[in-house]
């Protein structure tokens, strides 16, 4: 049964023999009880001095110690709302911790338990590349009527660029609202750095066409486009993607539909356009959770998002049949760098009044980044 397949995934089963792939979808083993006990002691010792924020893609052993769980949008809101905690321990990836530092006060310290927890998508757009892109848009005369919209999955430097040039930040929860706002402010959108979220929102939510969108390749002169391409476009998409969601394919959708009668396909908008177009429901991480939780008993869902979350949904919804859309897709390896050993180390260090792995965004970068983030929160 596919349900047992998913449950096996959650227990660390090796599925490479079934699919012949190198990525097995094997989850890390749970930590030993002694480490769990140390985590409980350290967390209790910190008390109200700290708040732990946990992204939905984290391992269960980390989520167990999170005071607030959510997607990037919800955690950005949570960070902005925390005024009393001395430490904000962010169990996510680097760009999320940067956003938390920007939105919290100077007296508060944001801690990332493992500094190696980055994001491949965020790394696909550097400040130099984006500045060169903007110069090209100025040269062809469209920059004044172009509004940058930057996905939360981006560095603070890119958020700062966005704020400085009159744009805003979006998440998968509010991409439609922010892109509508941008088109009210100008005639074009420069969407950074996830091409799939930008394309899917433009076409499936805003009613634009694929021809209204062009793809900017930062490795080519003028993004590989002609001035005519740029003038014609309504949305200029950056050539970036999520290394997890980008691997789901239309074949995955067709295979699960042929194998499981009555299954509904539920995917994240970071997936490729043909996958999103073929799905029954498309939504942010929070919407995926709500959709499954609110569905009737006995319903069947094939979910195209990160493995930790899908496995957790199977455990928390035993009255439904939950399938991972494609077993060949891994969990988010960078998000999973935050594990219980790193979290314990960070908390025990703070108990000893030794601040480790503090994330600090410079005042110059933070000023315009905060402006862009506050525009998002206001929307």
Looking at residue 264, the DSSP 8-state letter turns out to be E
Radius of gyration of the CA atoms of the chain, in A = 21
Q: Are residues 202 and 221 in the same domain?
A: yes
Residues 6+ apart with CB under 8 A from 72: 55, 92, 96, 99, 152, 153, 171
Q: Are residues 266 and 305 in the same domain?
A: yes
pTM for the model stands at 0.83
pLDDT score of 25 more than 80 = no
- CA 105: distance to chain centroid? 24
pLDDT score of 14 more than 60 = no
Longest CA–CA separation in the chain, Å = 64
Stretch 60-72: mean pLDDT: 90
pLDDT score of 24 more than 50 = no
Please state the domain count of the chain: 3
Assess if residue 2 is contained within a domain.
Answer: no
The tens digit of pLDDT for each residue in 102-129 reads 888 889 999 999 998 888 888 899 999 9
Helix (H) or strand (E) holding 87: strand 87-91
Please state whether beta strands 146-151 and 188-192 pair in parallel, antiparallel, or not at all (unpaired).
parallel
Assess if residue 282 is contained within a domain.
Answer: yes
pLDDT score of 184 more than 80 = yes
Q: Are residues 178 and 191 in the same domain?
A: yes
Q: Are residues 233 and 156 in the same domain?
A: yes
Cα 2 from Cα 157, distance rounded (Å): 43
Assess if residue 377 is contained within a domain.
Answer: no
Identify the pLDDT of residue 330: 63
The stretches of the chain forming alpha helices (DSSP H) are: 2-10, 16-19, 33-46, 60-63, 72-81, 94-103, 127-139, 156-164, 175-185, 195-200, 227-232, 250-259, 273-278, 285-294, 307-316, 340-351, 363-378
284-74-288 Cα angle (round to 5): 25
Q: Are residues 127 and 231 in the same domain?
A: yes
CATH number reported for the structural domain that contains residue 193 in this entry? 3.40.50.10800
Q: Which two tokens stand for residue 47?
A: 């008390």
Share of the chain above pLDDT 90, in %: 69
Positive or negative, the Cα torsion across 244, 247, 250, 254?
negative
The tens digit of pLDDT for each residue in 341-378 reads 999 999 999 999 999 999 999 999 999 998 998 898 88
Assess if residue 221 is contained within a domain.
Answer: yes
Looking at residue 11, the DSSP 8-state letter turns out to be T
Residues paired with residue 70 on neighbouring β-strands, in sequence order: 55
Is residue 7 classed as helix, strand or coil in its secondary structure?
helix
CA atoms within 13 A on the CB side of 199: 22
CA atoms within 13 A on the CB side of 171: 22
Q: Are residues 237 and 249 in the same domain?
A: no
Report which of residues 292 and 29 the model is more confident about. Answer: 292
Out of 206, 241, 276, pick the residue that ends a domain. Answer: 241
Q: Are residues 297 and 343 in the same domain?
A: no
Assess if residue 28 is contained within a domain.
Answer: no
Assess if residue 368 is contained within a domain.
Answer: no
Q: Are residues 211 and 134 in the same domain?
A: yes
Q: Are residues 158 and 198 in the same domain?
A: yes
Q: Are residues 59 and 127 in the same domain?
A: no
Assess if residue 86 is contained within a domain.
Answer: yes
Assess if residue 265 is contained within a domain.
Answer: yes
Domain range for residue 280? 244-331
Identify the pLDDT of residue 4: 36
Cβ-contact 351, 46 below 8 angstroms:
yes
Share of the chain above pLDDT 70, in %: 91
Q: Are residues 126 and 227 in the same domain?
A: yes
Identify the pLDDT of residue 377: 84
């Amino acid at each position: 049964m596919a349900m047992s397949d998913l449950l096996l995934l959650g227990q660390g089963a090796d599925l490479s023999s079934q699919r012949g792939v190198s990525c097995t979808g094997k989850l890390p083993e749970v930590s030993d009880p002694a480490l769990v006990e140390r985590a409980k002691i350290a967390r209790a010792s910190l008390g109200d001095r700290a708040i732990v924020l946990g992204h939905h893609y984290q391992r269960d052993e980390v989520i167990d110690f999170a005071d607030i769980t959510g997607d990037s949008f919800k955690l950005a809101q949570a960070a902005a709302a925390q005024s009393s905690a001395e430490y904000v321990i962010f169990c996510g990836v680097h760009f999320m911790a940067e956003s938390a530092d920007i939105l919290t006060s100077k007296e508060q310290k944001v801690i990332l338990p493992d500094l190696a927890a980055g994001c491949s998508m965020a790394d696909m757009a550097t400040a130099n590349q984006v500045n060169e892109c903007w110069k090209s848009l100025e040269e062809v005369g469209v920059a004044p009527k172009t509004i940058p919209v930057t996905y939360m999955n981006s560095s603070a430097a890119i958020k700062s660029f966005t704020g400085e040039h009159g744009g805003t930040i979006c998440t998968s929860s509010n991409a439609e609202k922010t892109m509508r706002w941008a088109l009210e402010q100008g005639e074009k959108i420069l969407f950074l750095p996830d091409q799939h979220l930008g394309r899917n929102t433009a076409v499936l939510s805003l009613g634009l066409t694929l021809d209204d969108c062009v793809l900017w390749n930062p490795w080519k002169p003028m993004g590989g486009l002609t001035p005519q391409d740029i003038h014609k476009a309504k949305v200029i998409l950056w050539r970036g993607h999520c290394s997890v969601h980008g691997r789901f394919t239309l074949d995955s959708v067709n295979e699960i539909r042929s194998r499981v009668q009555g299954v509904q396909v539920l995917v994240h908008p970071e997936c490729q356009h043909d996958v999103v177009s073929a799905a029954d429901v498309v939504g942010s991480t929070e919407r995926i959770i709500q959709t499954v939780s609110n569905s009737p008993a006995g319903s069947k869902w094939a979910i195209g998002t990160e493995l930790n979350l899908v496995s957790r949904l199977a455990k928390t919804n035993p009255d439904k049949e939950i399938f991972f859309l494609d077993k060949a897709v891994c969990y988010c390896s960078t998000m999973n760098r935050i594990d219980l050993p790193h979290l314990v180390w960070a908390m025990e260090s703070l108990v000893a009044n030794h601040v480790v792995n503090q994330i600090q965004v410079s005042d110059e970068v933070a000023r315009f980044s905060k402006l862009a983030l506050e525009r998002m929160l206001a929307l």
